[in-house]
Structure 1
């Protein structure tokens, strides 16, 4: 049984202890959440939300504008489960000043609560006491809000960042495409007061940090001392950087290894997009790949014992999961012993069982893997209906 604690200012029941008395020490949240596996918590101005591992959302605290999504405006002193009109698996929930945003595993955005500045993104300024879809045709992979502002932001699968709400005094009633590449920048540039969760450089434009300089020199013909040749294409790198950043290369570039004396090393185990993404990750700490290519990078990360990269690949795959590729991703997770990803894909398949069993990927699954899935799905109630 999971134990979930909270404490602090509690005038509206936002601690979830069943009273409005302030709590100066950690206190167990009311029993409705104690038997659940809570995977994330979000706090607004005077309300709170919890997301459980099965995609259910619970809210408690102040509800004067419907930010708990319960269909009313009554405060809740204990966690109360939010029920959507249709069965939906939520993978992220965030709270703004008095509104709430949620993202489903299908990349659909939902919003509810205060909307006096258009922060729900539904094209008007009417408050909503139940979840409504946000008007965008793109599949979203990230949604962001802040307890001190009436701004909302989201990032699409293609990497585009949208914002809406009270942006520098102007009300944007629906998602507005920005030039940003990170949702953090929306709040740093447009909220009042500005809010930031990471460092920003305030140096002159012609100054580059160490990280920026390293990123700039990736695949540079002018400064590199080594090339990897993959699928007939060259990737220019620096031995010193690879040795510093990766144990695999630290071992490879020892004096008694043949690779240490080579100027060009051929790679035939992995595709060009995958190997290039891996090398670029060593220079930037970031990965930019489609979910299908991330499977190959997950294979590489497993082979090279790069645990952090393995986690990044799993996050990319989770954000890109769909009915059509769910069983393909589940098979990959099992093959590369990515237990967290395997559980995520399994739950997605169970939650969309009828649809995923109609796909080609389902019928192409390995026999033993298919049997294991059916047995496990049966044990978790996947066939109860």
Structure 2
């Protein structure tokens, strides 16, 4: 759910509990408290593209908060509307029946702020009273209940969810500073010929590293040093590790250097368009944390203009998670993606497969519905 700068509300995604109330006829559900029904709300399991929530037309929304399967919306008039799953009373309408259309929550005073998490709803009134309803204190509270809490964070401490309920203060002490100094020292050791005792050659270019660090930080290199140059039966070294280790042309110099630097620093220093190759390397070397970091970096870098590029690369690298993420992202920005230069460059078979999958997701039907509604 998002709120625009003009106070309009849009939603997309999972909709089994009516979290995205798309009206098919009128917008009468906000006329008063407790009278909204789902009779005039379109029933659809999920929406793959942002849809305007017409059920709140005529209201200026200043904030929206989402629980697992319910939604709260705060208007510029200090009113709270809620809808969605209500098995714990999280909608706040004095019952536990699902509401597929927005209903005004009866908070005794004007509301300044709202929050939601899991099956819990929270509001702060104009007198700074913190109200809760839903799954709290081990009960299913069906109407706003005034508490003695002083802030929203405190309310979540009494919910059924295990989570950090207040900000954590981290202080710098001598031990922390020593650790940071140690990490900085490791960073300066990378690719330093004066201290290196091992050289990795990639595409004819040397990268100066240290055997001990490679063995500690990477299981692949640990196996190389402890097994590949050791007689497994007698556990005796059959040869000294080579002073220079040459990598096959499977990986480029810039990507392999970024991988080795990661072993020293714990950070990924690489352009986004080359991170998929690093992700493939991490998968081959069983570096789970690095693979996860690469996936997050790629997802953050994706836009409608480059998603086709990453989609094609993900297929080539057999990165199923990234491929699926790109596909779902593209469905939400179909027009811009299909008109992008990177989509035009895609292999014909990849484009055909993409269009077939899009058709199976009813994306074209959904787009036409938006035009006609």
Normalising by structure 1, we get a TM-score of 0.50
Q: Mind listing any 5+ residue stretches in structure 2 that lack a counterpart?
A: 1-13, 18-32, 35-41, 48-62, 85-90, 92-99, 102-111, 116-123, 125-150, 154-165, 230-237, 369-373
Q: Give the direction of change, closer, same or farther, for the CA distance of 1:319–1:278 in structure 2 (3 Å limit).
A: same
Aligned-residue RMSD, C-alpha: 4.4
Superposed displacement of residue 350, structure 1: 1.2
Q: Is the 8 A contact 2:220 2:285 kept in 1?
A: yes
Q: Secondary structure at the match of 1:236?
A: strand
Alignment of 1:148-227 (within 5 A): 195-196=167-168, 201-203=172-174, 207-209=178-180, 210-227=182-199
Q: Give the direction of change, closer, same or farther, for the CA distance of 1:298–1:205 in structure 2 (3 Å limit).
A: closer
Superposed displacement of residue 195, structure 1: 4.4
**1:261 and 2:232 are equivalent in the alignment:** no
Q: Mind listing any 5+ residue stretches in structure 1 that lack a counterpart?
A: 5-17, 20-31, 38-45, 53-57, 61-67, 83-96, 101-113, 115-145, 149-193
Q: Is the 8 A contact 2:64 2:74 kept in 1?
A: no
Count of residues in correspondence between the two structures: 238
Q: Give the direction of change, closer, same or farther, for the CA distance of 1:305–1:256 in structure 2 (3 Å limit).
A: closer
Tell me the alpha carbon deviations over residues 171-227 of structure 1, each in whole angstroms, 9 at most, x when there is no partner. xxxxxxxxxxxxxxxxxxxxxxx9447x55422897345544433433333332112
Superposed displacement of residue 326, structure 1: 0.8
**1:239 and 2:207 are equivalent in the alignment:** no
In structure 2, the partner of 1:287 is 268
1:252 to 224, 244, 265: 224
1:274 to 242, 246, 255: 255
Q: Which has the higher Rg, Structure 1 or Structure 2?
A: 2
Q: Is the 8 A contact 1:290 1:316 kept in 2?
A: no
**1:334 and 2:334 are equivalent in the alignment:** no
Rounded to whole Å, the distance in 2 between the matches of 1:307 and 1:277 is 16
In structure 2, the partner of 1:382 is 363
2:66 to 49, 62, 65: 49
Q: Secondary structure at the match of 2:315?
A: helix
Superposed displacement of residue 366, structure 1: 2.9
The higher-RCO structure (CA 8 Å, 6+ apart) is 2
Task: Please say which of residues 228-237 and 283-292 is displaced more in the overlay.
Answer: 228-237
Q: Give the direction of change, closer, same or farther, for the CA distance of 1:206–1:316 in structure 2 (3 Å limit).
A: closer
Rounded to whole Å, the distance in 2 between the matches of 1:289 and 1:230 is 16
**1:296 and 2:308 are equivalent in the alignment:** no
Q: Secondary structure at the match of 1:308?
A: helix
Higher helix fraction (1 or 2) = 2
In structure 2, the partner of 1:311 is 292
Normalising by structure 2, we get a TM-score of 0.52
Q: Give the direction of change, closer, same or farther, for the CA distance of 1:260–1:339 in structure 2 (3 Å limit).
A: farther
Rounded to whole Å, the distance in 2 between the matches of 1:196 and 1:318 is 28
